[in-house]
Each structure stands twice: as structure tokens, then as C-alpha cells.
Structure 1
């Protein structure tokens, strides 16, 4: 879509709040479950399950993205992906999103509209609609996404259900985004596959509801690092999670980048975030299929537990991302 006339200077200030909101909302088709869409004081969406899964993620320029590294379209997809993956990690399907944009007055209007396109396209992967939001001025460019999900009659998957004897498994990619970030920090823009993985993750959305159907006992979105996020499951469930390093396959592009940069690829797989893989536990003997890779098992918490152990020992490297760590 082409941006509307921007009043002369091409910025969101030149376009104005009302025209910006109108231009953004015009880019969002509405699904059947949207009873009242953008344009009113609030949206109304159907909740056939009578329960609603709710999650929020905030992206701040300079912390979660850089405009010189990522085009607006990819920032929009990444912003949506973070929340869509959280809903999937509950075993649910996202139905709708609301988006808050806090932007400097000199932000190009075209950037805001390309962001909206990215949000729309990522949401469409799961059949979700962007049903509203807010736009405000701010010295720091910030995107906030709230997603609503439908459990479709299933019990929610939480971080507290793992039991001794369960297997630990993961669906989706690990280490790609961390490798891409390392490449960007060195001033490179290739390998493109890794850089794009950091700009725009590819979460396995369908694996969340599938995990529920397979009898998963716990599930978590790997947003901050496998060891760190599985640590939430270990502590919530009161078990040790025993991972085997040799169960982690190092993808070729990740291996090659590690060799070129003098890095340990397992550090990216075990501690790198923002790929939004789904990791959880399943009863022993469960037929998981090709989407899942078994990494280890759950055991009764030993001395120092509950915790995550790699080859029988605590992971000595960086555990994952902590905003205040």
C-alpha cells in the first residue's frame, strides 16, 4: 500500500494523529471473530471458549531493535511474533492483537505504515486480526503488542506441570537469532539467513496447540534463552531438567558463523534468545513426531535443584537475556 499524503514533511507529525490512525487501521482486515473492530473506544472480539489467553510484549528502539539494522516491516513482524509465540506456548491460538505505538514526531510516516504491514502479515500466519491500539508521541520509539488467544476447549499449558520421568523436547529453531545478532554487532550483514533470523523470527506457532494434543505437561516460549526459560519450568514444577548437549544439532549457518567469529555455537543454542522456539515436557513414550526434538528428561530435584543441567552440570556460560541482570 502507498502511504497517504503526509502534509509536506513526510513525518508522523506532518501526517497528524487522526490521519495516521486512519491510515494504519485501513491496513488491517478483520476476521469473523471481531464483533467491533478499530474505530471505536474499544474493540469487541468473540470468546467462544469463555476463557481468554492474554499476553503483552514491548519493543524499545535500541534495546529490541535498531532501525539501521531492521526495516520497519521486519520490526512489525518481530513485534507480533513475540506475542503470538507466547499465546502458542499456552497451547492456544491467537485471535486478535492490539498495538501501541509511541513515536518521535520526526518518525517518517512511511516507517509507521510499513510497521503496520509487518504486524498484519505476521498475524495473518495464525489467522489473527489487529483490532485496535493507540498512537502517542514519545522521544523513544516503542511498540507494544497485546495478544488475545483462544484455548479452543483445551487446558492451558503452563510452566508448572513437568514431572520426573517426562522427556524434554523443543520445536523450532535455536541459536539463529543470537548468531545473527553477533554478526550484526561485528558490522556485517551476512550470512543473510542468520541476520534475517534476528530481524524476523519464525516461531513454530502450530506446535503449541499440537503440544497440548500430544499430552504436554508443560510448555514455554524460548524468548530469552533455552537454559533460562527452561529454568522457569524447572522451578515452577519442582524438578531438574537434564539436557544432553549432543542432542542439540548445530545448524550449518550457525556452525559456520561461530567458526568465523571465534564463538561457541552451543552458547547461542543454549543461551541465545528471540528465536521463539517452544520447549516443554511430555510423558515418556509420547509419539512426538518430526516437529519435536528430544533434548533430555525431567528428574526429581537433586541437591541445588530444581534447575537445568547440561550433561549433568550447571551451564557455565551466559544463561540467557535478563533486562536487569
Structure 2
């Protein structure tokens, strides 16, 4: 990947003699710096950071949980984003999985691994970004771990509550259901294409790659209004709808005309010689939600019907097999 100027260039220099790297600060120094910035716990957090474990309330009697692992150079680049942006991205990506089950995020556990030469301030900023994103939906960062590694890595375990509703699985789509989508799509893929070329504009596309805007509140809404299956679109719309099709034993056909390419992405596509529809169909990292519903009447406001479920297998576009990669696969794809 081409290099771009480091986003750390704008940080204020620490006073002379003050420890600045992870090696100098030490494991517990890093933890202390990150924890010091955390807000007061929400009602569901009975005991936060500082002990061997956190203690959480589970008023629903059930806990929804998932884990995301992000690696510098694979899921993000620390020279393309600030620490706070990286932290927000990590938290939002993890919480989107909980939303896709129809649940509300309540707590995050974070593992940070980094080379000893890493700026300790960067990890502190990552912690601040994680905490800020969690707080926006009423969740807490309740604990975690810090260790050394050859490359910067972030592991986020997210915990959520279903609030009395049944979880929405990938396996519930039925023949005759409609497929709907909510949230921004294609923007992050366009931003990645721009950054890979060595540019940092347009800001809207680059910003979408740095920090997603998953529609977290729409997951529980869809669950209440009758979603039969749902998924977080992290690796590409076709690839992730393929998971629903496989789990449900059905076929899904998308209508390309239902996916509107924003004017800004048309401009970016023209400048880079790319078909922007490819970004909408196969690009990841925006984390919109895709779901199936029994009929159009049950599709909530803010969702767009983009296809239909039928008997068969696989995902098609306008009735035809899509030519090319359907999305991102960490062990098969290359950037």
C-alpha cells in the first residue's frame, strides 16, 4: 500500500523527559492512562475496570456477545487515521454485530497489543475513541488487557441485551420475504480506493473509511417490526447476504436499480476509473444492516427494499450471477 503522511503529525509534543512510548510507560501505565479517561459507568455496569473481572447486570436474563479483532495494515492503517478514529472504528464495527441480532450494546472489553516503540499517546487516543463511541449508545468500556506484539492490534468483545425480544438470526429468511437495507453503503470502499491511490480527498469518502456510521438503533427496531433474518454488512453486500441465503436455505435476488449511487461516489469512480456500483455491491467497512421481512408493510421507516427471497440457493443481481468477487475474505482476498 502507498504511504501517506502520518496523522500523528498534528499531535502536541510531550514535555521533555516525559515517557512517550509503551516501553517507557509500561503495561500498567498504559492501562492507567486509558482507564482514567473512561466515563462513569452506565446502569448495567455494576463493577467496571480495576478488578480481575467486570460485573454486569443482565436484566433480560440473556447476554448477546461477539468479538472483533482489528489489525494495523489489514483493517485500518495507523498512518491514515488518528488514534481516536481507530478506536471509534473498532467499537462501532463490533457493536454493529450486536445490533444485527436485534440487541442493544451495553459493554465492551478491549484487548490492545502493540510494539514497545508505539506512542503511548496513540493507545490513549484509541481508548478515548472506543469509550466515546460506546458512550454514545449507552455502553461502557468495562475492562480489557494490554500486551506487546509485533504490530498494533485491537480486540473488542461486545456484550448486549435483547430487551425481551427474540434474537434475529441469519437462518430465518423465508421464500417470499423482501430484502431491505439501512445505513450508508459503498462510501468506505470508495474511501479505501482513494487512500490506496495516495490521496486524502474527497473528505466524505475518506472519512467513511476511517470511521463507519452503522445504524445501531435500527437493529432493535427491525427485530420488533418482524425481521426474519438480519446481518451486519462488513465484508460486502453480496457476500454477507450470501451468509443469510446459505443459513436459511434460500436464494436472494438483488435489484440493482434499488441501490442509488450517490453523486459523490460517481465522481470518485470517474476519477479513479472504477464502477461505483461495485463499491455498493462488494465493498465492506460501512457496516449497514441488511435484513429480510415478511412483506413490504413490515419494513421499518429508514430501510430500503432492495430484493426478494425465493426458493433456491445463492445470491444474484437482477436475476444473473455476479461476475467477480462478492466481497472481502481475509484468507482469499488481496488489497
TM-score category of the 2 structures, normalised to the smaller one = over 0.9
> Is 1:6–1:15's contact at 8 Å kept on the other side of the alignment?
no
Where in structure 2 are the equivalents of 1:231-242 lying within 5 Å?
231-242=242-253
Residue correspondence of structure 1 range 62-101 to structure 2 within 5 A: 62-101=73-112
Provide Cα deviations, 1:261-317, integer angstroms capped at 9, x if missing partner.
11011110000001000001001132424310100110011xxxx101100011112
* Number of the residue aligned with 1:310: 317
> CA 1:68 to 1:285, structure 2 compared with 1: closer, same or farther past 3 Å?
closer
CA distance in 2, matches of 1:116, 1:226: 30
Aligned to 2:226: 215
Give how far 1:7 is off: 6.2
Q: Which residue of 1 aligns with 2:28?
A: 18
Structure 1 stretches of 4+ with a deviation exceeding 4 A read 2-7
Q: Which residue of 2 aligns with 1:115?
A: 126
SS at match of 2:297: coil
CA-CA distance at 1:3 after TM superposition: 11
Gaps of 5+ in 2: 1-11
Kindly report the root-mean-square deviation, in angstroms, between the aligned alpha carbons of the 2 structures: 1.5
TM-score, normalising length: structure 1: 0.96
Could you say what secondary structure the match of 1:314 adopts?
coil
Shift of 1:210: 0.5
Task: Tell me the TM-score normalized by structure 2.
Answer: 0.93
Aligned to 1:228: 239
Take 2:182 and 2:13, find their aligned partners in 1: how far apart are those partners?
38
* Residue number among 43, 47, 54 corresponding to 1:32 in the alignment: 43
Secondary structure in 2 matching 1:294: strand
- State how far apart, in whole Å, the 2-side matches of 1:45 and 1:256 are: 48
Assess if the C-alpha contact under 8 Å between 2:168 and 2:227 holds in 1: yes
- 2:277 aligns with 266
Question: Residue 169 of structure 1 contacts residue 280 of structure 1 at CA under 8 Å; is this kept in 2?
Answer: yes
Q: How many residues align?
A: 320
How far 1:6 moved relative to its partner?
9.7
Further displaced range: 67-76 or 196-205? 67-76
Deviation at 1:28, TM superposition (A): 1.4
Preserved contact between residue 3 and residue 109 of structure 1 (Cα < 8 Å): no
Match in the other structure for 2:287? 276
* Equivalent pair of 2:254/2:307 in contact (CA under 8 Å): yes
Pick aligned residue for 1:134 from 145, 162, 166: 145
Alpha carbons of structure 1 residues 97 and 3: separation in structure 2 relative to 1, 3 Å? farther
d(CA) in 2 for partners of 1:286 and 1:237?
22
Checking the alignment, whether the CA contact within 8 Å between 2:14 and 2:20 is kept in structure 1 is: no
Inter-partner Cα distance in structure 2 for 1:220 and 1:11: 39
- Equivalent runs, 1:285-296 vs 2, <5 Å: 285-296=296-307
Counterparts of 2:252 and 2:15, CA distance in 1: 56
- Structure 1: 5+ residue runs without aligned partners? none
Q: Within 2, Cα distance between the matches of 1:202 and 1:11?
A: 31
Residue 252 of structure 1: how far off its partner (Å): 1.6
1:200 is the counterpart of 2:200: no
Q: What displacement does 1:82 show?
A: 1.0
